[in-house]
Amino acid sequence: MPMKDAKKPTRASRLGGRLVGAASMLLLVSLGFVLGVTSSNAMFIRFYLPFMPPLRSATAAAASSPPPQPPPTPPPPTEDQRTGAKGFLAAPSSVMHNMTDEELYWRASMAPMVRRAPDSRVPKVAFLFLVRGELPLRPLWEKFFAGHQGLYSIYVHAHPSYTGSPPADSVFYGRYIPSQRTKWGDASLVEAERRLLANALLDLGNERFALFSEACIPVYDFPTVYAFLTGANTSFVDCYENGGSRSRYRPFFATRNITLARWRKGAQWFEMDRALALESVADDFCFPAFRDFCVGRSECLIDEHYLPTLVSLLGWAPRNANRTLTYADWKRAVNRHPHTHGGEEVTEALIREIREDGGGRCFYNGARNGICNLFARKFSPDALEPLLRVAPKVMGFG
């Protein structure tokens, strides 16, 4: 029986040889494919993208790059940046600006949500004068303000055609704001009041705001007025409802969601806190209704209704004393205007009578108070000299 050949390959060895051969072939094909793709990409770039520069290695790019430069030196801080919050809280250096009313109201209506300021500051009273041009009683007011710098601010809205100016040493010098034309009984009169409020709100130090005409006077000295206003926990906006006030209501206002139940009347001459001033300047509901109502009407008398009605709509009653602090003699009214006191009427007795008027019925911070009127109107220009004579004796200044 013949013997088997020991060198003859078995089936397993033949299969392993085939696998090794296939793997080698696959490796060669893969290598060729990679080299082909690389070559074809290079040819594509050279043929189709001749504008591209040849690619450089990361080492070559790093060697040819300039060394890194140090960051630029920051500019020195400005004065406002150095002063921080103090610079922000500081009063504007001038009352003149080129803002439109829309821009002014937007800027003035900004209010910090944090009530407590980072630095202690003394509250100021903003005195707002709505006048035609000249201030005939200015010398009396100058004596009233004398010695109390830093406790008050002054803003004057005159007819835009007025080009005069108080003397440079007057507290009224440079205090005339950008203004527009006004007309009695017209919406432009309320617009002027809101313009005065908005300009005063730009100074974050102003906490109380009082409106006057060129015919108004103070009947107390500045310390008394300042303590009364800054110590009050209410505003003083005349706001009442009676048959006379309701007679001016028109169905037009119902279409603007201002009902007869909310309709109010009151004297134009207000004194208010900063919160109510912000509401007035930011109002885009009540005032547009009154303004639209006045279109085409020679007289709409909204100066007696707009602010009292706004106070009513806001539900401000608990925060408003519902009275004015400015006396007027309506017992001798002439053509829907209060009596004007001439120079011959000005006596110590008249000023005392104004100061004592209604003293037993006025409330202050929830309690009865002897002061009802801090100011009075109307006084003619020829009343200046008599007023200057009686001021030291009755008003406490001058």
* Any domain includes 32: no
Residue 226 placed within a domain: yes
Let me know if 339 is exposed, middle or buried by CB neighbors in 10 A (0-12, 13-18, 19+): middle
Phi, psi of 235 (to 5 degrees): -90, 170
Give the pLDDT band (50/70/90) at residue 22.
low
Give residue 212's pLDDT. 98
Please say if the pLDDT value at position 28 is more than 60: no
Angle (CA) 304-307-308 rounded to 5° is: 75
User: Would you say residue 19 has pLDDT above 90?
Assistant: no
pLDDT value for 300: 78
Structure confidence at residue 364 (pLDDT): 93
Domains contained in the chain, number: 1
Q: What is the pLDDT of residue 160?
A: 93
pLDDT-based confidence at 307, cuts 50/70/90? very high
Burial group, residue 216, by CB count within 10 angstroms (0-12, 13-18, 19+)? buried
pLDDT in tens, 337-379: 899 999 999 999 999 999 988 767 899 998 888 799 999 999 9
> Residue 183 maps to which CATH number?
3.90.550
**How many angstroms separate the CA atoms of 335 and 233, rounded?**
36
Domain span at residue 189 reads 95-109+121-324
Task: Look at residue 124 in the predicted model and tell me its pLDDT.
Answer: 97
Asked whether residue 379 is assigned to any structural domain, the reply reads no
pLDDT for 27? 53
- The DSSP output letter for 155 is E
Per-residue pLDDT tens over the stretch 248-299: 899 999 999 999 999 999 999 999 999 999 999 999 999 999 999 988 787 7
Q: What is the pLDDT of residues 56-79, one digit of tens each?
A: 544 544 455 566 666 666 677 565
Query: pTM higher than 0.85, yes or no?
Result: no
pLDDT at 37: 43
Is residue 133 situated within a structural domain? yes
Render pLDDT for 161-203 as a digit per residue (tens, 0 to 9).
999 999 999 999 999 999 999 888 788 999 999 999 999 999 9
The sheet with strand 271-273 has its strands ordered as 152-157, 124-130, 206-212, 271-273
Q: Is the pLDDT of residue 386 over 60?
A: yes
382 located within any domain: no
More confident residue, 15 or 298: 298
pLDDT for 93 equals 73
Tokens linked to 284: 């885009």
d(CA 309, CA 318): 15
Which of 36-40, 94-98, 321-325 is predicted most confidently?
A: 321-325
In a domain, 342, yes or no: no
pLDDT, tens digit, for every residue of 119-171? 777 899 999 999 999 999 999 999 999 999 999 999 999 999 999 999 999 99
Per-residue model confidence as pLDDT tens digits over 210-248: 999 999 999 999 999 999 999 999 999 999 888 777 888
229 occurs within a structural domain: yes
Please give the residue that has the higher pLDDT: either 8 or 140: 140
Residue 301's pLDDT is 81
pLDDT at residue 25 tops 90: no
Residue 240 has what DSSP assignment? B
Residue 181 belongs to a domain = yes
